[in-house]
Amino acid sequence: MERGKMAEAESLETAAEHERILREIESTDTACIGPTLRSVYDGEEHGRFMEKLETRIRNHDREIEKMCNFHYQGFVDSITELLKVRGEAQKLKAQQQRNLDNIVLQQPRLGSKRKCKKDAYTIFDAEMESTSPKSEQDSGILDVEDEEDDEEVPGAQDLVDFSPVYRCLHIYSVLGARETFENYYRKQRRKQARLVLQPPSNMHETLDGYRKYFNQIVGFFVVEDHILHTTQGLVNRAYIDELWEMALSKTIAALRTHSSYCSDPNLVLDLKNLIVLFADTLQVYGFPVNQLFDMLLEIRDQYSETLLKKWAGIFRNILDSDNYSPIPVTCEEMYKKVVGQFPFQDTELEKQSFPKKFPFSEFVPKVYNQIKEFIYACLKFSEDLHLSSTEVDDMIRKSTNLLLTRTLSNSLQNVIKRKNIGLTELVQIIINTTHLEKSCKYLEEFITNITNVLPETVHTTKLYGTTTFKDARHAAEEEIYTNLNQKIDQFLQLADYDWMTGDLDNKASDYLVDLIAFLRSTFAVFTHLPGKVAQTACMSACKHLATSLMQLLLEAEVRQLTLGALQQFNLDVRECEQFARSGPVPGFQEDTLQLAFIDLRQYFLPRILSGHFPPVLQYSTKSSFFQLLDLFIQWDWSTYLADYGQPNCKYLRVNPVTALTLLEKMKDTSRKNNMFAQFRKNERDKQKLIDTVAKQLRGLISSHHS
């Protein structure tokens, strides 16, 4: 019994020792397990220990098997997802494109202040606070409902499922192949970036095309930023900066190309607002966007060009639809409406009772207000570009100067040069441009009130409106002179002189009476023109009439004429002088207008135009017409030949060449109409006298030229 109990005690002690050794083997590092194993081999129960070891190993194998069985499906799923990385990446891209439409570019409205803030999850908040001045015809493009300042915007993690990326990264890390996955991820994302940065061919057609393009780019970099901050090393800042540099270059190139197709200023303005929001959003994530704002300055020039084209059509419609008549008003309300649209003050007009008329036509207030609308449109583009007040002022003034000197000027010139434009319309254009010129100072004040930059500032660009309206007015004045001369020529085409007549009607020709009546009625319309314009037009018409009459008398087709024809011509010329003497336009001094009928072709024309008159005019005020006609009618050749060249001679303005030309015509007439004149002594003497005078005139001409 005693021996049995001792054996049992030894067996229990040995089992406990074996259990201790097994636990030590399981928990001890393999480098320190040598002493433990030595104690096993030194013991007497080596065989029994090996049995227990085998049993323990089988138990651990069963536990491992159970664990593997439990985790097998998850392992299979992970490997399957790893093999589907390419497909998942494509799905990820598609999903982000759909979802980011809800969070990116939510507020492309001009005049909004954007308050952007960023953590690892929030993209941006848009705070609406419109501060832009609005015109009465503000289009309200891209208006959106106001959002509460504190409204939460979903973050990237709320809209995009990043778990496939995280699981793949974890699996590769466990397998010791993290670097492989990092390289694979970055390579695939570069390929996706190139796809995102490829704009659709019709992107320029609608604003949605640009919006989707920007959404893709913003979404791509928001995702990369999220990956940067939620993983350790899958991407780094250098990698993202490299992608952004490529993206910025391709984006700017695409925008330059597609924006060049935009001809609608509203679309260009909307595009600018999208680009500003695009740049502001990405700047919050740490991306440099200065190149985008530089490109916006290029788009600003294009915007200005599209505005100029639009306003060219607006001005054309205004000028085409105008009736070129003073604006009538029948009550105080109508009067205040007009002066509310255009800065005009006239105390004399205010005192008049209704009905009354403004001096200008409808196109004056319409053009003035459209210039202001153009300035508003320029201001819209300048907002949110981070420009100083001086830069905004300079941009607006330069664009407005282009509107005035190019667009409006061309529109006015086109109207003035129309073939069918009448004198009444031309007169009204002169009046209108005079009032528009006076309004330029109010346009200066209008811009100053918008930009708060005083016009006295050193670098302030001045408006060229005064020059534009002066040029248009001068063009209209020249057109009036040309138009008047053309009307005079039309009347002169009705002249039907019988140069062989021997009868005298004792009255001016009918065509000339009608011509003088036309001139009187025309100059009566000039009452609202500046005095100098009316006087110049009247003087120009009289000079042209005098020159045309002289050419009519001396033209080559008139080979013969009689004294009766000269007397009839003399009556017509005296009718012209009577018209000049009657003062059809106020402001001329004494006989100034009558001087238009002196000899225009030679000596006196340059002196009349320059305002210098020879002293001899005080002794004789008759035109060369009258002196020439008097010389022939009175047959006073002895006086003419004896006094020629003297400062106070009676026929000072009669040119010997002109006299010889007419004398030759009378000489031919005398010979042809008097077949038997050679048989009558008086006619023979007269013919001899004509020959003698002609010979003396030739000698006079020859000596004068030599």
pLDDT in tens, 514-564: 999 999 998 888 877 776 888 888 888 988 998 888 788 777 677 777 777
At residue 128, does pLDDT exceed 60?
no
Which pair of tokens denotes residue 180? 């492989």
**DSSP at 233:** S
**In this predicted structure, what is the pLDDT of residue 454?**
80
**In this predicted structure, what is the pLDDT of residue 323?**
94
Average pLDDT, the chain: 78
Confidence class for position 669, pLDDT limits 50, 70, 90: low
pTM of the model: 0.65
Cα-only R_g, the chain: 51
At residue 115, does pLDDT exceed 80?
no
* Placement of tokens 């019709």 in the chain: 202
User: Which has the higher per-residue pLDDT, 139 or 92?
Assistant: 92
At residue 565, does pLDDT exceed 60?
yes
Condensed to tens digits (0 to 9), the pLDDT of residues 12-47 reads 777 777 777 777 777 766 556 666 666 666 666 677
**In this predicted structure, what is the pLDDT of residue 458?**
58
Please give the distance of CA 481 from its chain centroid, rounded to a whole number: 33
Condensed to tens digits (0 to 9), the pLDDT of residues 569-603 reads 878 888 888 888 888 888 787 777 877 765 433 33
For residues 673-692, average pLDDT: 64
**In this predicted structure, what is the pLDDT of residue 77?**
66
> Exposed/middle/buried for 392, CB within 10 Å: 0-12, 13-18, 19+?
buried
**In this predicted structure, what is the pLDDT of residue 315?**
97
**In this predicted structure, what is the pLDDT of residue 697?**
85
Residues 6+ apart with CB under 8 A from 472: 409, 412, 413, 416, 429, 433
SS3 content of the chain, % helix, strand, coil (to 5): 70, 0, 30
Which pair of tokens denotes residue 128? 């609406």
**In this predicted structure, what is the pLDDT of residue 364?**
96
**In this predicted structure, what is the pLDDT of residue 667?**
67
**In this predicted structure, what is the pLDDT of residue 602?**
35
Condensed to tens digits (0 to 9), the pLDDT of residues 48-66 reads 777 777 888 888 777 776 7
At residue 201, does pLDDT exceed 60?
yes
Residues 6+ apart with CB under 8 A from 535: 585, 587, 588
Q: Are 598 and 604 in contact (CB under 8 A)?
A: yes
At residue 70, does pLDDT exceed 90?
no
User: Which has the higher per-residue pLDDT, 557 or 206?
Assistant: 206
* 125: helix, strand or coil: coil
**In this predicted structure, what is the pLDDT of residue 103?**
44
For residues 645-672, average pLDDT: 75
**In this predicted structure, what is the pLDDT of residue 34?**
66
User: Which has the higher per-residue pLDDT, 87 or 662?
Assistant: 662
> Can you tell me the distance from the alpha carbon of 339 to that of 348, in angstroms, rounded to the nearest whole number?
15
Highest mean pLDDT among 128-137, 420-429, 571-580, 583-592: 420-429
Which pair of tokens denotes residue 568? 């009839």
CA nearest 575: which of 624, 481, 494, 510? Answer: 510
For residues 609-625, average pLDDT: 37
Residues 6+ apart with CB under 8 A from 548: 488, 489, 492
